[in-house]
Amino acid sequence: MSKTIIVSNRLPVRITENDGEYVMSPSEGGLATGLGSIYRDGQNVWIGWPGMEVTEEKDQQRIQQQLAEMNLLPVYLSQEEINNYYEGFSNETLWPVFHYMAVYAKYEQPYWDSYYKVTEKFRDIILSVAEPDDIIWIHDYQLLLLPGMIRAVIPDISIGFFLHIPFPSFELFRLIPWRAELLEGMLGADLLGFHTFDDSRHFINAVTRILPINASANVMMVNDRAVMAETFPMGIDYDKYASLSKEKEVKDQLRELKETFQGMRMILSIDRLDYSKGILQRLQAFELFLQLYPEYMEKVVLYMIIVPSRDNVQQYRDLRDEIDKLVGGINARFRTNNWHPIHYFYRSFPIETLSALYNFADVGLVTPMRDGMNLVSKEYVASRNQNNGVLILSEMAGASRELIDAIIVNPNNIGAITRAIEEALVMPEPEQYRRMKQMRQVVAKFNIAHWVKLFMDRLQEVKQIQQSMLAR
């Protein structure tokens, strides 16, 4: 019987140490939920880094045994590998270039060397469990080389690859010194999935410009093997967000919010700390809004949650300082004795708190400079059980291709965001309903289970097409 092997940089688990005992708690992320039905089944397995450095061999073995009970298999990384492969090449080279912020990119040979070596580590662990008729689904930019490395050892195995971040235009991608190696690595897959049509076009374009490989529509011939690049916009667990509001914990928090913000309109903003998320521009737009529309003083709040992320990287620390300053400045400028315009939190919250906020906020403000998809926008929509509320969404987020009934803005256009905030706050209820209903239908239908099934089914089809081409 063939099995399915999921591979991603991080395992969907949080490990904490308590008095020498390791406690494992499954993580609730969208991908983990979506793939849960797959990796927990039978012999299937999810391979990845457990999220902490474990140096002692006996600890490694103990953790491995505990993880095995959850169908998880760890790839242990040293601190140096985490610094160079993960924080270095993944987050300081690929992330900025793929998000069109090439000025932040560092091209360091030791980063690349480590990226290559860590991929070999992943490969070896996969090879310790993989059989030729298994299906392997590899995720994201930390593992671009992995499909090629596995293909070199098991030529006929089924490999799918999904990129969760944008694939940049050729003019950006070509900047990377190791561009050809990266593409060759990706082409080890049989099916490459992207969030948007543009991302897949950019990939195919980079392949044909950089490698001696031709493409006919979305098909690239790699050593007589047809490789396909296609669009699979990722969804969320719609039912979970739609039904969370019925839980007691969420209801309690919602009641508290209603009391605290009585008579006040709320604009909600939730992101990981990242320069790709357009946080500074969003704050500038809110400041301009307060300046241009003073009638909203004491009547509106911006509730802003920033989840700490990558704070070992200098740019992220700098960004955090800038946000602190800007928020402080805006609050100092506009606050009154009983109101301040921005409620800013630099930490993460339980999903129940997010759900209460999604339910309460009149406006969801999501304005990334670039975003592969952006799940927060979909979670806001899924949570609006009353069909009211307005989503303001950046045209640079993959989600803007599906959520066309949002107010779509260019995140660099501060004036446009400012006007969008005003438009959202005065939008008549019937129009809110019409737009929200349409968006809820999209998010409900193209949910995470649908996304997983579509990708897995298509991978099987691609394999069949390849076989029928060989038989000809």
List residues with catalytic annotation: 164, 371
Determine which residue in the list 207, 273, 356, 376 makes contact with ligand GDG, applying CB under 6 A: 376
Determine which residue in the list 134, 184, 287, 371 makes contact with ligand GDG, applying CB under 6 A: 371
What are the beta bridge partners of residue 159?
Answer: 136
- d(CA 175, CA 344) in angstroms, rounded, equals 37
Min dist. Cβ of residue 382 to ligand GDG (A): 11
Residues 105-144 interacting with ligand GDG (rule: CB under 6 A): none
- d(CA 252, CA 436) in angstroms, rounded, equals 25
Residue type, 43: Q
CA nearest to 73, candidates 125, 144, 9: 125
Residues 238-277 interacting with ligand GDG (rule: CB under 6 A): 270, 272
Compare residues 76 and 194 and give the one whose CB is closer to ligand GDG.
194
Determine which residue in the list 13, 45, 165, 192 makes contact with ligand GDG, applying CB under 6 A: 165
Using alpha carbons only, give the angle 335, 337, 340 rounded to the nearest 5 degrees: 35
Q: Could you please report the per-residue DSSP string of 74-101?
A: E----HHHIIIIIIIIIIIIIHHHHTT-
Q: 268 and 376 in contact (C-beta within 8 Å)?
A: no
Compare residues 115 and 162 and give the one whose CB is closer to ligand GDG.
162
Cα–Cα distances (Å) from 259 to 263, 324, 344, in that order, read: 9, 27, 19
Determine which residue in the list 91, 200, 374, 418 makes contact with ligand GDG, applying CB under 6 A: 374
- d(CA 161, CA 455) in angstroms, rounded, equals 10
Residues 378-397 interacting with ligand GDG (rule: CB under 6 A): 379
Determine which residue in the list 369, 373, 382, 403 makes contact with ligand GDG, applying CB under 6 A: 373
H or E segment at 194?
strand 191-194
Count of chain residues binding ligand GDG (CB under 6 A): 20
Min dist. Cβ of residue 429 to ligand GDG (A): 27
Residues 26-65 interacting with ligand GDG (rule: CB under 6 A): 30
Determine which residue in the list 146, 234, 283, 424 makes contact with ligand GDG, applying CB under 6 A: 234
Q: Is residue 313 within the footprint of ligand GDG (CB under 6 A)?
A: no
Compare residues 24 and 125 and give the one whose CB is closer to ligand GDG.
24
**In whole angstroms, what separates CA 306 from the centre of its chain?**
15
Residues 401-460 interacting with ligand GDG (rule: CB under 6 A): none
Min dist. Cβ of residue 12 to ligand GDG (A): 13
| Terminal Cα distance for the chain, rounded | 28
- d(CA 10, CA 76) in angstroms, rounded, equals 11
Which residues of this protein are in contact with ligand GDG, per CB under 6 A?
A: 30, 164-165, 234, 270, 272, 305, 307, 348-351, 354, 371-376, 379
